[in-house]
Amino acid sequence: MSDRVTQIRQAFQERFTGAPVVVRAPGRVNLIGEHTDYNDGYVLPVAINRDVMFAVRPRADRVVDLYSLNFRASAPFSLDRLVPDRSQPWSNYIRGVAQQLGREGLPLTGMEGVIEGNVPIASGLSSSAAMEVAALMAFQALGGWELDGAKAALLCQRAEHEFMGVRVGIMDQFISRLGKRDHALFIDCRTMQYEAIPLNARGYVLMIADSRRSRELAASEYNVRRSQCEEAVAQLRAGLPEIEALRDVTPQQFRQHNWRLDALPGRRARHVVSEDDRVLRAVAALRGQRLAEFGALMNESHESLRFDYEVSSRELDVLVGAARLVEGCVGARLTGAGFGGCTVSLVREEAAPEFERHVTAMYRRETGREPIIYTCTAEAGAGVIGG
């Protein structure tokens, strides 16, 4: 990472004078608890060693002029005219966050500088949330105010709802802002209470396999899933009038009342209810260092996402299937919204090279595509790197 900090500082100095403020916000991998956050449920994500960085300095006017090293483009805009830019969509995350901060009445300064990221885009590792949270951190660092972590996450989520039109849950922005090094966060997405769970199982690593199929239909299908869950709640209320979200339905209640549900909302709800339960059991397993049990829950989560929630893809299924054939891989599942993107696997350290070799070969053979496979570590949430 320090190499990238040096590079971004250099890139800043080639274009501007003075010393920049550098902020970063990480992407995430979710270990378990998929499509539960917008159902008021539980999630267990990790902030990873991939992030978005902004190296910026304030401007006297209300212009935000940032150069993206990834896209080799800038997309200047005025804080007084926040409209989407179709030609440089990456800048919309920054615009959307600026809009929300403005609505909160927080003083915003214009800024200029460079941004760079190494979270793969549209791969299910939350490059969007990393952009939003990094933008917020930049405005915060230059604005001289400080927003509470959970509030910052909510505000970035709102930017995504209103500016990007995707009704995402709170998980990605929350973990990007509040992640803790060497820990996963067990988050209750209703109360926003969270607990850091140590990832100190010696001898295991988290491996990410990127299918390199970007998430087609992700935005529209995501919103459809969300509506189907709302429909399920409405139908279940006939027998369970007290429920407000699928989070309120226990697996036992679900078995009792699922006859009230139409087929599709029924399958969606079965995923969410069982997934919340799996998160609780996974947290207990992690605390007790029962990694085989944890891995089995990851496997079940994938099957549920594949058959009940229907957000997997052929490529993700191939990656998961290949992973499970590797001795020393205790669990594998798709991570993030699905429809493409990445899988996450829990692998014994000594099996990591074989994992990479085998999964790559099998994926290549079955799909004709080249995956990207790497180990990831649990890092701290967003922050200022230097001033």
Alpha carbon distance 385, 210 (integer Å): 28
Per-residue three-class SS string for 94-131: HHHHHHHHHHCCCCCCEEEEEEEECCCCCCCCCHHHHH
**Segment contacting ligand GLA by CB under 6 A, of 34-42, 92-100, 288-296, 367-375:** 34-42
Interaction between residue 174 and ligand GLA (CB under 6 A): no
| CB of 294 or CB of 355, closer to ligand GLA | 294
Residues 111-130 that bind ligand GLA (CB under 6 A): 126
Judged by CB under 6 A, which stretch of 168-176, 245-253, 319-327, 339-347 contacts ligand GLA?
168-176
Q: Helices 291-303 and 263-287: crossing angle, nearest 10°?
A: 170
CB atoms inside a 10 Å sphere around CB 102: 15
Provide the CB-side half-sphere exposure for 363 (13 A, CA): 27
CA-wise closest residue to 48 among 126, 143, 109: 126
- The only residue of 40, 172, 308, 379 in contact with ligand GLA, by rule CB under 6 A: 172
Beta bridge partners of 115: 54, 68
Q: How far apart are CA 138 and CA 58, in angstroms?
A: 10
Q: Number of C-alpha atoms within 13 angstroms, CB side, residue 260? A: 17
Please count the residues of this chain forming the interface with ligand GLA, following the rule CB under 6 A. 11
Task: Provide the 10 A C-beta neighbour count for residue 201.
Answer: 15
Does position 40 bind ligand GLA by CB under 6 A?
no
Cβ proximity to ligand GLA: between 35 and 50 the closer is: 35
Decide if residue 336 touches ligand GLA (CB under 6 A).
Answer: yes
Nearer to ligand GLA, 22 or 232 (CB): 232
- Strand, helix or coil at 164? helix
Q: What is the DSSP letter of 192?
A: -
Q: Does 85 qualify as catalytic in the annotation?
A: no
How far from 126 is each of 118, 181, 386, CA to CA, in Å?
11, 18, 24
Q: Which is nearer to ligand GLA, 45 or 295 (CB)?
A: 45
Residue type at 360 in one-letter notation: T
> Other CB atoms closer than 10 Å to residue 335's CB: what's the count?
31
53: left (phi over 0), alpha (psi -120 to 50) or beta: beta
Contact pick of 37, 40, 300, 379 for ligand GLA (by CB under 6 A): 37
- Exactly one of 55, 133, 171, 209 binds ligand GLA (CB under 6 A); that residue is 171
34 contacts ligand GLA (rule: CB under 6 A) = yes
Nearer to ligand GLA, 37 or 65 (CB): 37
Near ligand GLA in 268-327, by CB under 6 A: none
The burial class, CB within 10 Å (0-12 / 13-18 / 19+), for 165 is exposed
The residue range among 167-175, 288-296, 353-361, 378-386 that interacts with ligand GLA, by the rule CB under 6 A, is 167-175
- Applying CB under 6 A, the span of 32-40, 100-108, 355-363, 379-387 interacting with ligand GLA comes to 32-40
The token duo for 259 is 């006859």
Shortest Å, Cβ 126 to ligand GLA: 6
Q: Which one, 169 or 340, has the nearer CB to ligand GLA?
A: 169
Question: Please, which residue, 308 or 356, has the CB nearer to ligand GLA?
Answer: 308
Judged by CB, which is closer to ligand GLA: 9, or 215? 215
Residue type, 293: E
What is the 8-class DSSP label of residue 336? S
**Helices 218-236 and 263-287 meet at what angle, rounded to 10?**
100
The catalytic position among 40, 51, 172, 210 is: 172
168 belongs to the binding site for ligand GLA (CB under 6 A): yes
Instruction: Using CB under 6 A, pick the residue from 41, 113, 169, 341 that binds ligand GLA.
Output: 169
Smallest distance from ligand GLA to CB 155, Å: 15
- Candidates 29-37, 131-139, 318-326, 349-357 — which segment interacts with ligand GLA by CB under 6 A? 29-37
Per DSSP, 378 falls in state B
Q: Which residues bind ligand GLA (CB under 6 A)?
A: 34-35, 37-38, 126, 168-169, 171-172, 336-337
* Active site amino acids: 172
